[in-house]
Amino acid sequence: MMPAATAPPTFNLTACDQEPIRIPGSIQPHGFLLALPQEGERRVVQVSANLAQHTGVDGEQALGKALPAILGERAALQLQAELARVELSAQPTHLGTVQVCNQRYFDVLAHVFDRLLMLEFEVVTRATPPDFRYLYPKVGSFLLKINDVHDIAEMSGLAAQQIREVTGFGRVMVYQFDRDGHGHVLAESRAEGYGYYLGQRFPASDIPRQARELYLLNRIRLIHDADYTPARLLPDVNPLTGAPNDLSHAALRSVSPIHLQYMRNMGTLASMSVSLIVKGQLWGLISCHNATPLPVAFEQRTVCEQLGQILALRIESRSDAGELEFRLEVRRTMVSMLAGLTQQKADFADSLCGVFPDLLRFARANGAAIVVDDRVLTYGDAPDEQEVRELVQWLGANGHGEVFHTDQLSALHAPASAYRRNASGLLSMSISRIHPHYLLWFRPEVVQTIDWAGQPQDKSGPGQLTPRSSFASWRETINGISAPWHDGEIELAVEFRGALLGIVLERAEQMAELAEELGRANKELEAFSYSVSHDLRAPLRHIAGFSDLLMETAGAEDLEKRRRFLKNIKDSARLAGKLVDDLLSFSQMGRAALHPSPVNMTELVRGCIQKLALDIRERKVEWDIGVLPSVKADPTFVQLALYNLLSNAVKFTSHKEVARIAISATENTQEVVFHVADNGAGFNMEYVHKLFGVFQRLHRMEDFPGTGIGLANVRRIIERHGGRVWAESTPGAGATFSFSIPKDIVT
């Protein structure tokens, strides 16, 4: 059974976190220390005061002497040979086992730090060096066992059991530090009579900040006997620097008297700690306790250190695998949501509502809300609308933009106490850089019951602390906290926000483009309405007027006049009919679906020329058809566009004795461009912007009759194919009309 705890002496621990544990000025007495200059003549410049107890040589008299005078010739030569062979660093190196002048045996560790060569001598009972072959079967056995285990707690249990077998400690615990620094016991191996700590937590205050830093520097620490009397250093400062010795890397470094009392309060007289370093951070500790003093030889400590490193590597590997698996699952959900959002054409907020179930799965949340302008849309177990509005106002007022998260919302936003049941955790995301638009996720309260190894707030009086005297299990219930947000969730939420802003921006650009297109359509409609009323009214007026004249001459014998009146009525009716047909065709161009297929443009041009034969009749027209590549387009629509351009060329060359019309093509990597050039009337480039509008004419109808819809049809057809249309001209010298067809047509 463990001995009863003794009454603790009083310590003033008001500045406990600043205790200078790196420079205690003393060592543990189960060995002695000699310090020599790192460079130059190797004579002892500092010793531990217990030198005489181990070697029979007085410490004060040893200062300034060479090693043979203190250790004996044989031991000194052995160490000098080893020092010449190895390259030392701040981490201790084992130099072997030596027998000093009084026939006692010591394991020797050496390291260099702060300009000193530090030699540490630990008492051993064997005459031979440590047998490191002991290391391999232990490590090999542990590796075989741990490789078949994937649960971190189970891995830790194997390590605790193996280390207890190697060292003989009565209890070995493995605990992990949580985000607040508390140590959570994951595994425990213990002998009969030792207290049970599995599943309990040790408060963060048990291990001050500077102690945690030392665990990173020196990965194993042994306290042979908590009741030891420290052996001070002579002199008490580093003789080469004049400052206190930094013993961070020394195996014999004396420890804080506060910690020694802590051990005694716990019923522990011997302890050993092995650091578990994962990705450069102190992940946890393997903590070993014994009720009585217990020496642990260097080779045993080496095995334990190796086992700790293997465990840390397996923890890192398992954590990485779990992290990767988790992130992949969250990313799959995110990609699925984004795919759905990009395909939807509805209002953006409504689009988000359509993926609400995926949103909850993405953040492992129970509720969500979308706030856009004055709309609040909620899903799942979320606060009510007014609570969400107030929460968004608080987020904006406190600068919690972009991505903000907490698992204790009510501790930051007092009104959230009213709905901590379903919203103790909050992950918020601003989805606008200008407006207070938010996407919110809520996690419910998880009432936590924590079993502490002693009450964390244990105090002996106002303004003064003592090492904890009680380690009895103490249960604490914590309210108002949700499950914590995972780092991967936060990082992917930031990525998700960027993607959402991209979608919002794309929607904004589409809306701007649509508004621009609508503006053009309105202007076109306005011109269209005016032109219809103007152009359609003219032939109808003609029909009505000539009908009246025809009626007035009904009794007259002038047949020629009546025949002329009927011809004018017929021409006006034909013009009105053609105008209506062209309007119908123009309307259809914007609605009919495209059916792209390979088009032989040379054959298409020849077919259009054949159709124009009736209009040309006896006129002399010279056609020049160049090499025209095939394109992928809607053959019916492209034929109509080409016919309009060729018809236009024929019409505007009607005053030429010989009309010359050339059709040619050029191409690049993106598109094929076709040109229709003529030697006709041409037009003033100052008015080119009107050329492709509905009912826009740059010439008098008396000179060149037409409805003014043909070129508007050409533009609509080509733009439906994703192409461009333009024209260049010099008045009186002809015109060139060009249009492009993309090689990769988007319909």
Could you tell me the CA-to-CA distances from 400 to 392, 396, 438, 606, 702 in Å, in that order? 9, 6, 11, 69, 71
Residue type at position 406:
T
CATH number for the region 591-747 comes to 3.30.565.10
DSSP structure class, residue 690: G
CATH 3.30.450.40 range(s) for the chain read 132-227+246-320
Q: How far apart are CA 478 and CA 473, in angstroms?
A: 16
Q: How far apart are CA 470 and CA 208, in angstroms?
A: 18
Sign of CA dihedral 459, 465, 471, 474: positive
Which two tokens mark 456?
A: 């964390």
The b/e string for 347-372 (b: 16+ C-beta within 10 A; e otherwise) is: ebbebbbebbebbbbbbbbbbbbbbb
Q: How far apart are CA 451 and CA 179, in angstroms?
A: 17
**Strands 658-667 and 631-633, bridge-based pairing:** unpaired
Please give the average per-residue pLDDT across 448-470, as a whole number.
Answer: 51
Tell the CATH topology of 24-124.
Beta-Lactamase (3.30.450)
Which two tokens mark 540?
A: 């109808």
Q: How far apart are CA 558 and CA 553, in angstroms?
A: 8
Tell the CATH topology of 132-227+246-320.
Beta-Lactamase (3.30.450)
Confidence tier at 495 by pLDDT (50, 70, 90): confident
Q: How far apart are CA 627 and CA 667, in angstroms?
A: 11
CATH 3.30.450.20 range(s) for the chain read 24-124
pLDDT value for 183: 85
pLDDT value for 325: 80
**Strands 473-478 and 448-453, bridge-based pairing:** antiparallel
Q: How far apart are CA 531 and CA 216, in angstroms?
A: 86
3-state secondary structure of 738: strand
CATH 3.30.565.10 range(s) for the chain read 591-747
Confidence tier at 275 by pLDDT (50, 70, 90): very high
Q: Which residue has the higher pLDDT, 477 or 110?
A: 110
pLDDT value for 126: 84
Confidence tier at 638 by pLDDT (50, 70, 90): confident
Could you tell me what percentage of the chain is helix, strand and coil, using 3-state DSSP and rounding each to the nearest 5?
40, 20, 35
Question: pLDDT tens-digit profile of 304-360?
Answer: 999 999 999 999 988 888 778 878 887 887 777 777 676 655 566 677 777 788 888
The residues facing 442 across adjacent strands are 367, 426
3-state secondary structure of 614: helix
Confidence tier at 630 by pLDDT (50, 70, 90): very high
Query: Residue 114: which region, alpha, beta or left (left: phi > 0; alpha: psi -120 to 50)?
Result: left
Contacts of 231 (CB under 8 A, 6+ apart): 26, 27, 28, 29, 32, 48, 49, 50, 254
Q: How far apart are CA 125 and CA 97, in angstroms?
A: 10
Q: Which residue has the higher pLDDT, 220 or 135?
A: 220
| Top-confidence range, 47-51, 553-557, 665-669, 692-696 | 47-51
pLDDT value for 484: 86
Q: pTM here? A: 0.61
Confidence tier at 56 by pLDDT (50, 70, 90): very high
What is the C-alpha end-to-end distance of the chain, expressed in Å? 86
Query: Is the pLDDT reported for residue 670 higher than 60?
Result: yes
Which two tokens mark 141?
A: 């056995």
Query: Is the pLDDT reported for residue 724 higher than 60?
Result: yes
Contact, 680 vs 659, CB < 8 A?
Answer: yes
pLDDT value for 712: 79
Counting every residue written for the chain, the total comes to 747
Question: pLDDT tens-digit profile of 196-218?
Answer: 888 888 888 788 888 888 888 88
DSSP structure class, residue 531: H
